[in-house]
Chain A
């Protein structure tokens, strides 16, 4: 079984400040890990994915995430927040098998203050 826990349902950051969103996972098989972003009234857009090639993964819009197996974590960071980063962010896990269903965390809503 797989599960994802996102610490903090809401995060408020100032424009230009570091964005840090926390994600911890549980998986009985080597995981594939993803971060998706959801803007209001829209579907989910993939930010980045980890599939065992490299522990530090760079994604779109300046985001990156680091896979730490010992901590079962996959935290998302961005060095400098922009107003356009205001959205909801979801961490998700799947396994390498036929039927790649995603198990999502509860999401973290990011508010960017000017």
Chain B
């Protein structure tokens, strides 16, 4: 059973460019969350997708946008890249289903290995 997979693993962009990061959730999971982890800091919540819609959003500008597909995979898009966008971007998935809530697993987020984005 594959866990959460993210691609690419590393990415180098220049200021002003746009980037798309991809995430495939763990099998059986339908909710995907994205986090930004700057060097030496804890992850910061960007947004969460459920049923192909953005359900919650953290304190990030509109340059950060996302999408969730019918197969529950997700993309994170960042426009007009800034130097400060350099970070590790983590995707996490969880089962929002009734089964997940009954089993107590709905509240556990499983993380991928991340995409390290460098903006030059």
Q: Which residue numbers of A lie inside 8 Å of B, CB to CB?
A: 4, 6, 32, 34, 36, 41-46, 49, 51, 90, 92, 94, 96, 98-107
Contact = CB atoms under 8 A, between A and B. Distances in A.
Interface stretch (B67-75, B79-87, B109-117): B109-117
A101 B56 contact: yes
A49 B108 contact: yes
Interface residues of B, number: 28
A32 B96 CA distance: 16
Given A43-B112, A99-B48, A101-B56, A107 B107 contact: no
B49 to A, nearest CB: 10
B33 interface: yes
15 contacts: A32-B107, A45-B111, A49-B108, A90-B43, A92-B42, A94-B107, A96-B107, A99-B48, A99-B56, A100-B107, A101-B45, A101-B58, A102-B45, A106-B42, A107-B41
Contacts of A46: 108, 110
A94 B108 CA distance: 10
A3 B65 CA distance: 24
B42 A51 contact: no
A105 B42 CA distance: 6
Interface in B49-107: 50, 55-56, 58, 90, 92, 94, 96, 104, 106-107
Contact of A104 (B43, B50, B110): B43
Contact of A44 (B40, B90, B106): B90
Contacts of B96: 98
Contacts of B7: none
Contact of A43 (B4, B41, B55, B56): B4
B42 A90 contact: yes
Given A96-B107, A99-B48, A106-B41, A43 B113 contact: yes
